[in-house]
């Protein structure tokens, strides 16, 4: 008999799990309270990248004049930009709906509340109760707010609101120098907004390789973004021109003015009001606790993606969804949490996979690094990126690739080669002997592999790379 699977949440975790479950022969139901596609498609990855694409072109056109391209009277049509973003989102959401229907997945609109370990109530236009053999919770995450005085003032926004501002703001203070902070700093500084980043730690993008993070910061500084490091937000005050963020550094209190203040200090698992307590599903500080197959303490209930907070990335959620469904339906899934690329859509982009140098040394691994600056790569120079860098981390003895980090144009696509190499347990020699086309940015990966043994072709020996 067909197993009946109910999936709570239609984001990239939930809808991918639904399609995989249908492929494996289950009867699948998906419950979504808002719009299919979740945060990623509606108010996250896709709309941000749609806006960043135009920002990148806007930038490029202005920077290409010394290369012979003169565009007179370049101007920004903000409402048209917003409309384009909406069109792309709508098309993708329709696409998800179409795919689910094509796989025979039944879609329910409404809020899912667990009644017991097998029953879920859908509170929508009409309330129904569904019964399942297997439940997959994929309820995502919500922005976490710092509860400082003034945090509810008009003009204090999260990333969702930052995607739909009525016009390009004159100034923007971003609290948090993480992924969201860097992407919105790139976006708005490209359009002329005066951006100030307030970051608690001494490094932006603390989880990222420090050499790459340093280059991103230098690039954004070129775009006139100000950084206040080791700085904590204490209070927000309304002013006649907008808002003022009261920020504390080592011995001093500062006031930073902004038309808006964007809170980008992380997201938290969305697990409230779902009936988890009633069923006895174990959580830890709001996150659903799962095992290696994403099963909760109740074996036929799984939790994937942001709601388990293991790795808050859309592609991690999709991979977890596939693994959970395969396991639940008696297959042997493959999911390697050590090889999940993370991508940052700054201008230019940055991406990383596997270990950073800091992690390799903390784990006592004997490693070697290979660095290749993209200023020595033809394609990179043509694209106007002199500050790019590719860094590989390899096991000292075997040469196996343990991590890769890239800053430069299309880094988010290039990182796939390093991820594949890691998945195949490839060594630096195998990267070197893979012939990379010329002229491409990917040649830099082979050069970084050569640099592990000090043999890069297009970088002089002994010249230090910082
Ligand atoms: P994040 O965790 O990446 O960064 C938050 C930053 O805020 C950290 O650097 C932290 O030190 C700082 N911070 C925390 N409290 C602070 C305070 N009181 N004052 C000053 N600084 C403070 O979180 P973010 O950027 O909000 O992103 C949320 C999630 O969304 C992340 O898991 C991220 O991976 C994901 N995301 C992924 C994207 C991508 O893959 N391209 C794009 C956007 C978000």
The tens digit of pLDDT for each residue in 183-236 reads: 999 999 999 999 999 999 999 999 999 999 999 999 999 999 999 999 999 999
Name the residue among 138, 217, 215 with its Cα closest to residue 177.
217
* Mean pLDDT in residue range 41-61: 96
Residue range(s) occupied by CATH 3.50.50.60 in the chain: 4-143+268-328, 156-265
**1: confidence class by pLDDT, cuts 50, 70, 90:** confident
What is the residue with the minimal CA distance to atom 43 of ligand 1?
A: 180
177 C-alpha to ligand 1 centroid (Å): 7
Residue 192 Cβ contacting ligand 1 at under 6 Å: no
Query: Which residue is closest in CA terms to ligand 1's atom 28?
Result: 266
Residue 67 has pLDDT above 90, yes or no: no
What CATH number was assigned to the domain covering residues 348-451? 3.30.390.30
| Per-residue pLDDT tens digits for 268-293 | 999 999 999 999 999 999 999 999 99
Instruction: Please state the rounded mean pLDDT for residues 103-113.
Output: 98
Pocket of ligand 1 contains residue 343 by CB under 6 Å = yes
Identify the weakest region by mean pLDDT among 30-34, 121-125, 430-434, 443-447.
121-125
Per-residue pLDDT at 337: 97
What percent of the chain stands above pLDDT 90?
94
CA 283, CA 245: separation in Å to the nearest integer? 34
For residues 37 and 318, the answer to whether their CB atoms sit within 8 Å is: no
Percent of the chain surpassing pLDDT 70:
100
How deeply is 284 buried, as exposed, middle or buried, from its count of CB atoms within 10 A (0-12, 13-18, 19+)? exposed
Name the 3-class secondary structure at 99.
helix
> How many whole angstroms from 231 Cα to the centroid of ligand 1?
15
pLDDT at site 64: 83
Residue 14, pLDDT > 90, answer yes
- Topology, domain 4-143+268-328: FAD/NAD(P)-binding domain (3.50.50)
Probe target for ligand 1 pocket from 144, 265, 316, 317, with the most ligand atoms within 8 Å of CB? 265
357 Cβ below 6 A of ligand 1:
no
Within a 13 Å sphere around the CA of 247, how many CA atoms are in the beta-carbon half? Answer: 25
* Arithmetic mean of pLDDT over the chain: 97
Per-residue pLDDT tens over the stretch 349-376: 999 999 999 999 999 999 999 999 999 9
Query: What confidence category does residue 106 fall into, taking pLDDT thresholds of 50, 70 and 90?
Result: very high
State the pLDDT at residue 125: 80
Query: Does 438 qualify as catalytic in the annotation?
Result: yes
Average pLDDT over residues 163-189: 98
The CATH number of the domain covering residues in 156-265: 3.50.50.60
Helix residue spans in 201-259 (DSSP H): 210-222
Give span(s): CATH 3.30.390.30, the chain. 348-451
Q: Whose CA is nearest to atom 24 of ligand 1?
A: 266
Using the atom order of ligand 1, give the atom closest to the CA of residue 179.
25
Q: Is 344 in the pocket of ligand 1 (CB under 6 A)?
A: yes
């Amino acid at each position: 008999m067909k197993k009946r699977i109910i999936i709570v949440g239609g984001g990239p975790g939930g809808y991918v799990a639904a399609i995989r479950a249908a492929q494996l022969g289950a009867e699948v139901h998906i419950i979504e309270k808002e719009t299919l596609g979740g945060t990623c498609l509606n108010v996250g990855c896709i709309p941000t990248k749609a806006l960043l694409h135009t920002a990148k072109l806007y930038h490029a056109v202005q920077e290409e004049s010394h290369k012979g391209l003169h565009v007179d009277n370049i101007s920004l049509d903000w409402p048209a930009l917003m409309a384009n973003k909406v069109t792309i989102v709508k098309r993708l959401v329709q696409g998800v709906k179409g795919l689910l229907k094509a796989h025979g997945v039944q879609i329910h609109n409404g809020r899912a509340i667990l009644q017991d370990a097998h029953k879920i109530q859908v509170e929508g236009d009409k309330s129904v109760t569904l019964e399942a053999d297997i439940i997959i919770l994929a309820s995502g995450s919500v922005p976490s707010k710092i509860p400082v005085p003034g945090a509810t003032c008009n003009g204090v926004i999260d990333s969702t609101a930052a995607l739909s501002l009525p016009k390009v703001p004159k100034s923007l203070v971003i609290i948090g120098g993480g992924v969201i902070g860097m992407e919105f700093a790139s976006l708005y500084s490209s359009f002329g907004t005066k951006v100030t980043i307030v970051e608690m730690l001494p490094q932006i993008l603390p989880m990222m390789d420090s050499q790459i993070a340093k280059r991103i910061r230098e690039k954004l500084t070129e775009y006139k973004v100000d950084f206040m490091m080791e700085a904590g937000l204490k209070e927000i005050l309304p002013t006649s021109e907008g808002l003022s963020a009261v920020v504390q550094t080592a011995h001093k209190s500062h006031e930073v003015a902004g038309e808006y203040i964007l809170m980008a200090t992380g997201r938290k698992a969305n697990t409230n009001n779902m009936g988890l307590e009633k069923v006895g599903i174990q959580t830890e500080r709001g996150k659903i606790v799962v095992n290696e197959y994403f099963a909760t303490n109740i074996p036929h209930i799984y939790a994937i993606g942001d709601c388990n907070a293991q790795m808050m990335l859309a592609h991690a959620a999709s991979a977890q969804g596939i693994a959970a469904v395969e396991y639940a339906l008696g297959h042997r899934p493959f999911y390697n949490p050590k090889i999940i690329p993370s991508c940052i859509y700054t201008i230019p982009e940055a991406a990383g996979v596997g270990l950073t140098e800091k992690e390799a040394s903390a784990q006592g691994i004997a490693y070697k690094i290979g660095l290749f600056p993209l200023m020595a790569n033809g394609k990179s120079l043509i694209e106007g990126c002199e500050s790019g860098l590719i860094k590989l981390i390899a096991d000292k003895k075997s040469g196996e690739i343990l991590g890769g980090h890239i800053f430069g144009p299309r880094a988010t696509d290039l990182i796939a080669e390093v991820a594949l190499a890691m998945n195949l347990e490839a060594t630096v020699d195998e990267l070197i002997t893979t012939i990379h086309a010329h002229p491409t940015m990917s040649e830099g990966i082979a050069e970084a592999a050569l640099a592990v043994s000090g043999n890069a072709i297009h970088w002089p020996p002994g010249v230090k790379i910082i």
